[in-house]
Amino acid sequence: MAKMVMVHPDRCVGCKSCVAACAFAHEGSQRPEASRIHIYSFQYEGVNVPMMCQHCSDAACVAVCPTGAMHRNPETALIEWDDSRCIRCRMCTMACPFGNTVYDALTDSILKCDVCQGDPACVKVCPSDALEYVEDTVSTTSRQKSFASRLKDVIQDYPA
């Protein structure tokens, strides 16, 4: 069965340990831009939200990719990026509704969560257990959708 990183925003303290661990795991640096996870802080609500690729069932990034470089792995159900097939058009970055697929000019790469091939660095270092690596079941998916719906409401109501 596929696994996913479950986000518990009510537990996130905004320390960004996950950001540093992700950047180090993938690029060997502490450069936040190299991280595949980002923390969005909503100070008005007092909420910190860790965000990474959601590996959407109907992934817009996959649909717009003209070369198939962005594709779903049939074995893991994860959305993956193939460097050798990518033409750097960045359509995937524009299509992601969450902004979780980004282009990194320093490495000329598309950055998105790959769950560290099944051992997510972000989950291992989170001091408040705001991130959890769990089986992707109907229950976890419905909890993620509920969270996404609440997040949408927060973002829409957030003062500019």
Domain CATH number, residue 88: 3.30.70.20
| 44 and 121 both lie in a single domain | yes
| 60 and 27 both lie in a single domain | no
| 21 and 66 both lie in a single domain | no
Give the residue among 70, 62, 73, 101 at the shortest CA–CA distance from 2.
Answer: 73
Give exposure, 135-145, as e/b (b: 16+ Cβ within 10 Å): ebeeeeeeebe
pLDDT of 42 reads 86
CB 73 within 8 A of CB 90: no
Quote the number of domains for the chain: 2
pLDDT of 160 reads 54
Say if residue 77's pLDDT is above 70.
yes
Q: How many CB atoms are located within 10 Å of the residue 108 CB? A: 10
At 155 the three-state DSSP class reads: helix
Amino acid at 112: K
At 80 the three-state DSSP class reads: strand
pLDDT per residue over 32-61, tens digit each?
Answer: 999 999 999 988 888 899 999 989 889 999
Give the Cα-Cα-Cα angle 135, 137, 138 (nearest 5 degrees): 160
pLDDT of 16 reads 97
| 126 and 147 both lie in a single domain | yes
| 107 and 79 both lie in a single domain | yes
Give exposure, 50-59, as e/b (b: 16+ Cβ within 10 Å): bbbbbbbeeb
| 80 and 126 both lie in a single domain | no
Q: Residue 158 belongs to what domain range?
A: 1-52+114-160
| 94 and 62 both lie in a single domain | yes
Helices (H) and strands (E) in the chain, counts: 5, 8
Phi then psi for residue 94, to 5 deg, are: -75, -30
| 65 and 106 both lie in a single domain | yes
| 45 and 63 both lie in a single domain | no
Q: What is the largest CA-CA distance in the chain?
A: 43
Say if residue 159's pLDDT is above 90.
no
| 36 and 81 both lie in a single domain | no
| 108 and 60 both lie in a single domain | yes
pTM metric for this prediction = 0.85
Q: Which pair of structure tokens corresponds to residue 108?
A: 């000329």
| 91 and 67 both lie in a single domain | yes
